Structure 1
Amino acid sequence: MPHHCPSGVFRPLNIAVLTVSDSRGLDEDGSGALLVERLLDAGHSLAARALVPDDIYRQRAVLSGWIADEAVEAVLITGGTGPTGRDRTPEALRPLLDKELEGFGELFRQLSYQEIGAAAAFSRALAGVANGTLLVALPGSTGACRTAWDGILAEQLDSRRGHCNFVALMPRLREH
């Protein structure tokens, strides 16, 4: 159940969306489209959108550019988080992270379990922070992206939740 800690002021974020897929283009990208629709409907801005094959180095190239871009505050990645040999988004992302936020993956799998049962155990969804940028890697299914947005991200990316959201932490993410 969401915990409300209202601050009253909404701060839109600049969010980039990366789809990782070997089998579809942007026109067939339902997951990325859903994330773009949800973030825009919530009042955020789309900072950038890209689609790359499930190749570690191509993912890292795009992600590194967005991490270095101070205008990009969050990145939502869809695809490449499964257990198959081609699913390598976690391996591409982890070396770029300053800190992994283990609770995100745990919570996502808990929510997924309620919807798809034990198959949720095969998800390698994760989140972390790099250079003050939030990065979230989700499965490539539209349903999984909907679950993540509706169950976690909508609340955590809403500044009106006061100290109870990720936006409240953003000013302190670059502290050393």
Structure 2
Amino acid sequence: MKKWSFQVKNSPIEIRQKLESSIGNANRFVLNINDNKQNLVNFKIRKRLLLPFEINTQNNIIVNGKIKKTNPRKGTGVEVSFSQHPLSKLLMYGHIILGLGFLAAIILEYSNNSYTYLIAGILLTIGTFLGFQLKMNFDKNVEEYKKLISEILGQKMNYSK
């Protein structure tokens, strides 16, 4: 999970309207916004997965954010956190656990077949490569979301923090 926070000169209501008008109407995005009584707005953005196999190829990040009015002089504080979709983690850890299970079966001598070695090696390799791919895609997609959010809010920020 990565966190990002910044200050905006607009009010929380204006920020909410900008988010709803730009992201709320997009076909592939899901935007949930909750208002609290204390000038605190929580929002969640994620990309809708249309097919189950898109978890590896599409942007699979869940964006959680809080917009809170801090001080009239400073503006509004925006805190955004980025996390991976739970299904992508399940897919990666599932391959690794299955591969380790086959290796445990080999070590405990439940199977002495050479195909078991091959299956265990393939599952561990897939899980490892899937983990590296998800990490690289996560970092790239976080930067894209930061750029998208900063463009929506009309800020020229250094979003690579």
TM over 0.5: same fold?
Answer: no
Task: State TM-score, norm by structure 1.
Answer: 0.26
Q: Highest CA radius of gyration, 1 or 2?
A: 2
Task: State TM-score, norm by structure 2.
Answer: 0.28
